[in-house]
Amino acid sequence: MFDQEFAAELDQNLSDGTLRLEEQLLKRERLDTLLGWPRLAEVRVLELVSSSISLTNLTALLEEPALASLEALRLADTIDERAGAELIGVLAAVELPALRQLSLECMTPRLDASGVRALLALPFLRQLEMLELSASVAGSPSSVEERPPIEAFAALCAHEGPFVRRLGLRHVVGDQEAKALAGAPWFSKLRHLDASGGHLYAFGLYTLFGAISSSEIESLDLSENWLHSSNVNPSLVVEAKMVWDDMRPSLSKVRIKEPSWSQFM
């Protein structure tokens, strides 16, 4: 049954080719309405944020021919199952010939090493320009004291094929991850890296800045690092700030969004 009220909501939410559905319960009736919506072919950017959709319904949506021109897909805290790598299986099974940007945010559970490898094997990976994996890769630290295994992140950094030029890793990067990033075969070709919301300290900054100095990176986001940890040792922040002051001038051509040091100094 076609839901006229939901269709009117879709009309209202579509703006300049972007359809953002937030806090929506996309059960079958609403999905049928979305699939039969006359303006679906106008959608170039689809964002499902804090919504609920099953893997079955997501598959049906992405297989819809009217979305053949979809250029950007964002799934943020959306799948209503603990899908993990099963979501990657859905993406592998659909054809998205025009897709250039993929954002997978707050996946539950986060991708493990096998899930990351499946992601890197997606048929459309080589056509992507931007990949966002915020809070979606297993093993990132929640505090400087925590040293979890980083096999999943290592799998990402071991990729040797074509890769994106813009990479989002919010709430993922700590010192260990920075070391892995610096050794990634594709790192030198990145144009933008978002490592905000992580736990980079002196070692991580030194390693990351050293790798960036010989890369093509034009912009770097390090905002909100350390800010969510009330138990941070002040001496660690002081050491990190010393590294920042020492190495930042060597990256004068890189636009960097920096942490709010004033909260700690």
**Mean pLDDT along residues 24-29:** 90
pLDDT of amino acid 111: 86
Greater confidence (11 vs 264) lies with 11
In whole angstroms, give the CA distance from residue 161 to residue 202.
31
Taking a C-beta distance cutoff of 8 angstroms, is the pair 3, 33 a contact?
A: yes
> How does residue 163 score in pLDDT terms, banded at 50, 70 and 90?
very high
pLDDT of amino acid 142: 47
Dump pLDDT digits (tens) for 124-137.
Answer: 999 999 999 988 88
- Please give the structure tokens belonging to residue 245: 């002051």
**Mean pLDDT along residues 190-204:** 92
> How does residue 265 score in pLDDT terms, banded at 50, 70 and 90?
low
pLDDT of amino acid 224: 84
> How does residue 225 score in pLDDT terms, banded at 50, 70 and 90?
confident
> How does residue 75 score in pLDDT terms, banded at 50, 70 and 90?
very high
**Domain boundaries along the sequence of the chain:** 1-116, 139-265
Taking a C-beta distance cutoff of 8 angstroms, is the pair 175, 199 a contact?
A: yes
DSSP codes of every residue in 29-98: HHHHHHHT-TTGGG-SEEEEES-BB-HHHHHHHHT-GGGTT--EEEEES-BSS--THHHHHHHHHS--TT
Taking a C-beta distance cutoff of 8 angstroms, is the pair 110, 136 a contact?
A: yes
∠ Cα 158 163 165 (to 5°): 120
Greater confidence (130 vs 110) lies with 130
pLDDT of amino acid 211: 96
**Mean pLDDT along residues 123-150:** 73
- Statement: residue 36 has pLDDT above 80: yes
In whole angstroms, give the CA distance from residue 18 to residue 158.
34
Average pLDDT, the chain: 88
- Statement: residue 146 has pLDDT above 50: no
pLDDT of amino acid 78: 80
Residue type, 186: W
Greater confidence (151 vs 62) lies with 62
- Statement: residue 175 has pLDDT above 60: yes
> How does residue 108 score in pLDDT terms, banded at 50, 70 and 90?
confident
pLDDT of amino acid 31: 95
